[in-house]
Amino acid sequence: MNYSKITRYLNCDILINQNDIERYGFDKNKTQGEMIDLAIINNCHIIVKNGKKGKWYLKGKDRNILFLKNKIEENIGKFRNGVYCLLLE
C-alpha cells in the first residue's frame, strides 16, 4: 500500500480498544518513522500515540478512509495533551 499524505490530529484518538495489530500497543520508545513503516506493512491507516510517555497503537486496518475521517472529526480535542493520531492516506 502506498500513502501519499500523513495528517496529524492533536488531542485525538479513535477506535478505542480496537488495536488491530498489537493488542497491548507498541513500545513507547519506537520512533514515528518505525510506526509508519509498521502501519504500511500491516495496511493500517491510523497510528495513535497515547501521550508523550505513552505507547503507540495501530488502528484502522482495511477500514474505509471516509469512515476513519468521520471518527477523527468526532474525537478531535476530546483527549489530553500529548495524545495524537496520524491518518495515512
Q: What is the DSSP string of 15-53?
A: STT--SS-TT-B-TTS-HHHHHHHHHHTT--EEEEESTT
Grid coordinates representing 77 are: 480535542
Q: How far apart are CA 18 and CA 10, in angstroms?
A: 19
In tens, the pLDDT along 27-83 reads 999 999 999 999 999 999 999 999 999 999 999 998 999 999 999 999 999 999 999
pLDDT given at position 47: 97
Tell me the pLDDT band of 1, cut-offs 50, 70 and 90: low
Decide which of 16 and 20 is more confident. 16
Are the beta carbons of 87 and 9 closer than 8 angstroms? yes
User: pTM, whole model, 2 decimals?
Assistant: 0.92
Are the beta carbons of 40 and 79 closer than 8 angstroms? no
